Amino acid sequence: MGSVESYFGQLCRQQQKKEEERRLRANDRPFNLSYHYANNAIKTSKYNVFTFLPLNLFEQFRRLANSYFLFLFILQLIPQIASLSWFTTAVPLVLVLSITAVKDATDDINRHKSDKQVNNRKVSVLIDGELQSEKWMNVQVGDVIKLENNQFVTADLLLLSSSEPLNLVYVETAELDGETNLKVKQALTVTGEMGDNIEALASFTVEVRCESPNNRLDKFKGTLAVNGQTYSLDNDKVLLRGCTLRNTEWCFGLVIFGGPDTKLMQNSGKTTFKRTSVDHLMNVLVLCIFGFLASMCSVLTIGNVIWEVKEGSAFTVFLPREPGVDAPLSSFLTFWSYVIVLNTVVPISLYVSVEIIRLGNSFYIDWDRKMYYAKSDTPAQARTTTLNEELGQIKYIFSDKTGTLTQNIMAFNKCSINGKNYGEILDYSGQRMEITEKTPRVDFSWNRLADPKFIFHDHSLAETVREGNSEAQAFFRLLALCHTVMPEEKKEGELYYQAQSPDEGALVTAARNFGFVFRSRTPETITVVEMGQQVVYELLAVLDFNNVRKRMSVIVRSAEGKLTLYCKGADTIIYERLHSSCNKLMGVTTGHLNEYAGDGLRTLVLAYKHLDEHYMKEWMQRHHEASTALDGRDEKLDELYEEIEKDLLLLGATAVEDKLQDGVPQTIEQLAKADIKIWVLTGDKQETAENIGYSCNMLREEMKDIFTVSANTAEGVKEELVCARRKMCPSAAEAPTVAKARAGLFWLEKTETVHDDKVDGEYALVINGHSLAFALEKGLELELLRTACMCQTVICCRVTPLQKAQVVQLVKKYKQAVTLAIGDGANDVSMIKAAHIGVGISGQEGMQAVLSSDFSFAQFRYLQRLLLVHGRWSYLRMCKFLQYFFYKNFTFTFVHFWYAFFCGFSAQTVYDEWFITMYNLVYTALPVLGMSLFDQDVNDRWSFQYPQLYSPGPLNTYFNKKLFVRCMMHSCYSSLILFFIPWAAMHDTVRDDGKDIADYQSFALLAQTCLLVVVSIQLCLDTHYWTAVNQFFVWGSLAVYFATTFTMFSNGMFLIFTSAFPFIGTARNSLNQPNVWLIILLTTLLCSLPVVAYRFTVIQLCPTVNDKVRHKLRKEALPGPAPRRPPVRRISTRRSGYAFSHVQGYGDLVTSRRFLRPRKNRPALFKQTDSPLVQNQPQHYRTITEEPEQPMRH
């Protein structure tokens, strides 16, 4: 026992003491275990076998309604106040708890399976001098592990050594930052010397001191002590969990952080229990109903006191009170008896029905064939079944870019060479034709080194190159020489390009197919096969890219000794450096660039210049001096680059397509018409994000202005935001208007709402990650929100995962609007968890986003169907259900209230007890479920045709507090009719044979029959879309009622269960009288006609959008499926910037002598010859992940 206490005491002390610094030793598990660091197992599940029942029941009874029904059940066990049998509450309560428990258990089992799948992955771990295969969950901090090509990184590792020269490794970080370009990491030389020597690695004794676990993906600080020497560690020497090893045969790493301590898991965000706005409203309404119930019971209790004092004493002769019960105690017991009788204002079947409706609408999403993606065999999936109606109330969508809006595929699409446009297909009349899969492709079989996966359709370009056109050949020669791509040729003719940027890989591959094959490079040479002839160029200099230059150049000497500078970059930059003789060609090329930009393509301009030998020698000398200078090195190099990169001759322009997913522009257009705002939060660079913005029609030429916020200080960011706001709305107040209110259960939650300012025209805002970091600070967040909400489109670039979540939280906090986040990578998990609704796309960046999402599918375009069809229908059905459910139950309960004035406030029920039990569970359950599962105001095609139908959802138009009060008033009116009309009609009436009919049992039967017919007619009036199921449920329920009534009121049931069925003969005694049926007809007409008249008047005087569309569809034919629209040719004066996601300094790495030293013969890295990597396709891998947090890394 003492050991258990000491263990828990130690555990508590560990939790209280926050880790400030991590200290670990390689290959020393006892030392590392003494610090109790987390192992590499992850856990996302909530329960285990022992904790499920208590924890789940605890969570369920935190719902106010469940606790209320438990309290009612306890009251019904007390004989003195039990006006109804205990089973009327116990059976529904157990049913609700069981259904919810089964659903929660299923969800948690799926989480356990996911955790198990990840934790049981295998990796090679160095244990006792041998490499052993271990499960990920058993890996400990301080272990040395071996990773092989295309393996996921197991934990956060310090890179020790690799198979590559200079101890480099290539990693793909798509799951962390959404970028598909490869990143380079490099080990320390002192550890890299060990290579793959197992003995050396096993005897390796090193101590690492580093920062404690945190979520900063772009920062790492630590030191490594070995052999008395201390070495500094930074982020370039660390491999993070969530990355994938690429193009590297093997590497060894030392585990620094494991499992929950890894930066990925630190960024994954906290899982919160999501509840819909309808849930929150229901909680508030239920609380109000409790208050209303208490007030009704209090009124009836006071009436009981008065009645007992004035009339009750006369009844004690034949109704004596129980011993010890006086008038005050009787009134007190009456209060609780009425709590039981009137509890149907909040029936427990409400919650059962809500869960069933949500589950049913979730199945519709799962079964929707129009959201099934056949290429990857991926159906849509509702992973959370409790949020369906929230899909009909979305106001803000936060979307990732890479893999969500785009396919992660770059394609060489078009080009302009010497003023001629290539890449388009024209028909005989000169009109542009749409390119489809059936369009004939260019045959590259003449080129044995061509990439078989490359697709191009304009045959004239291949013919021009093969005919020997000098400009066309110079164009592709430039693409084959001016880049930082690394080639690998395992077999003769099988080339694999390692491109740091997918754009650059697309251009080099295009040159390869058109006869200019980049074959190999050394630090001093580049080998190109030009039209079948091998040519070796001497590489003299690489003028590297950076964000200011927006261009890169190479200087080469041909075999003939000719010196040439080749340059490519952003058109605005290159145009400034062109020779005056190119003015005419520049004008033609600009026209082509406008067309390309209008099509959303990423453009670059190509130029060249022949150099003089003497000048080049002198320039190279100055370049050497500048590159070795200690002071002002960058400035001196920039001056030299500016000097030589002028008077260039224009060759043409390229257009690369960052392929959008199918239907993205149309989806965004539809959602915008539905008044949904879309914000793009991406880790990609600004130019790339802007290009995609134009491609998606989120950014448009006709916008009044597009504001860019890129300041590096808080003051600068504030100034740019204020300037943008003043330009959009000069009359707006300087301080934002913040409305403070209280909300939530018991009104304990304080809310602040920032109201929108009215803006004329459309604007867009583009903000960088480092600026966003300042804007999200306390003093600036409202300014950011206010300015951003004025804009039609908001794009945040270079943001980290936590910044994504912070943006979502900001909108949730101050706009009180329903948000949806959609993404496909682990870098989107925190955003998906933060939003009200999280949607995961099962795409190219793994399954982490899907596992954390509430809904998932394969293509962004399915989002419009999810929201405009399933979401809107679910919201509409839920609102109709709630209105009708409250109506029928308030009507049911108010009749009890009126009856109390005629029964001495004795808590006697007006209906038969069996009718009370079966009213919500049998007689009215299926009809309302039928309406709530099958009803639709318009079908899916009309929903797409008129996206404006969606707009009432975000405004809570269909169910709110005002409508709830109106529903109560309607119920009050109906209950008055349902009680007093039968009462007045039967007060002094007799049967047609002269016998008495006006007894309690006959009145109870008449009242409950009138009630059931009236609520059934009301449901028919609320139903827009009739199916055979609806008809069966409505008429079937009425038939069941009459069949059950005649059975229960029969002689046989009375003889068998005398005390349980006292209403013997009442049904046949009453329902064979014509006046009874006339009373039923009269009450039905008096209850229904005012509703019909009111709705008719409202539709005529102030019709809603819904009413107008439904009126229109009666006159028009069903709209056909949306036709495939050919791309519209747009001319744009906007141009993309340098379209490559390069990292500055990569040019130096390419020309490093050590980097390209001869390799030993090694087994092929690519054993699977049909993999995307081998085929030089964009590399799409499914991985688990982690997420970033600082600006410049996402």
Instruction: Please report which residue ranges of 987-1065 form alpha helices under DSSP H.
Output: 1000-1022, 1028-1048, 1051-1056
The amino acid that residue 277 corresponds to is S
First to last CA, the chain: 49
Q: Are 151 and 243 in contact (CB under 8 A)?
A: no
Of the residues 143, 156, 177, 400, only one is catalytic, namely 400
Catalytic annotation present for 400: yes
Instruction: Please report which residue ranges of 428-469 form alpha helices under DSSP H.
Output: 459-466
Angle subtended by helix axes 459-466 and 470-481, to nearest 10: 100
Q: How many Cβ atoms are within 10 Å of 979's Cβ, its own excluded? A: 25
Distance separating alpha carbons of residues 808 and 395, to the nearest angstrom = 12
Kindly state the tokens that stand for 1000. Answer: 């309690």
Q: How do 516-521 and 525-530 pair as beta strands?
A: antiparallel
Kindly state the tokens that stand for 1170. Answer: 């049909």
Phi and psi at residue 556, to the nearest 5°:
-130, 155
Instruction: Label residue 531 left, alpha or beta by phi (over 0 means left) and psi (-120 to 50 means alpha).
Output: left
Q: Are 507 and 191 in contact (CB under 8 A)?
A: no
Distance separating alpha carbons of residues 280 and 274, to the nearest angstrom = 11
Q: Is 733 helix (H, G, I), strand (E, B) or coil?
A: coil
Distance separating alpha carbons of residues 530 and 727, to the nearest angstrom = 55
Q: Is 1194 helix (H, G, I), strand (E, B) or coil?
A: coil
Q: Are 233 and 224 in contact (CB under 8 A)?
A: yes
Distance separating alpha carbons of residues 853 and 269, to the nearest angstrom = 12
Distance separating alpha carbons of residues 1172 and 127, to the nearest angstrom = 35
Distance separating alpha carbons of residues 235 and 217, to the nearest angstrom = 8
Kindly state the tokens that stand for 305. Answer: 């006191």
- 766 by Cβ neighbours in 10 Å (0-12 / 13-18 / 19+) ranks as buried
Kindly state the tokens that stand for 1065. Answer: 């003969």
Q: Are 934 and 876 in contact (CB under 8 A)?
A: no
- 1168 by Cβ neighbours in 10 Å (0-12 / 13-18 / 19+) ranks as exposed
Angle subtended by helix axes 961-986 and 1074-1101, to nearest 10: 150
Kindly state the tokens that stand for 182. Answer: 């490869």
Question: Contacts for 107-111 with beta carbons within 8 Å, 24 or more apart?
Answer: 107/384, 108/45, 108/46, 108/47, 108/52, 111/44, 111/45, 111/46
With tokens 């819904």, the residue in question is 1106
Q: Residues with Cβ < 8 Å from 289, sequence gap 6 or more? A: 345, 346
With tokens 């260039």, the residue in question is 648
Kindly state the tokens that stand for 399. Answer: 């979307």
Q: Is 833 helix (H, G, I), strand (E, B) or coil?
A: helix
In 471-488, which positions are buried (b, 16+ CB within 10 angstroms) versus exposed (e)? ebbbbbbbbbbbbbbbbe
Instruction: Please report which residue ranges of 696-775 form alpha helices under DSSP H.
Output: 714-728, 769-775
- 166 by Cβ neighbours in 10 Å (0-12 / 13-18 / 19+) ranks as middle
Residue among 246, 236, 206, 251 at smallest CA distance from 224 = 206
Q: How many Cβ atoms are within 10 Å of 586's Cβ, its own excluded? A: 20
Distance separating alpha carbons of residues 519 and 529, to the nearest angstrom = 7
Catalytic residues: 400
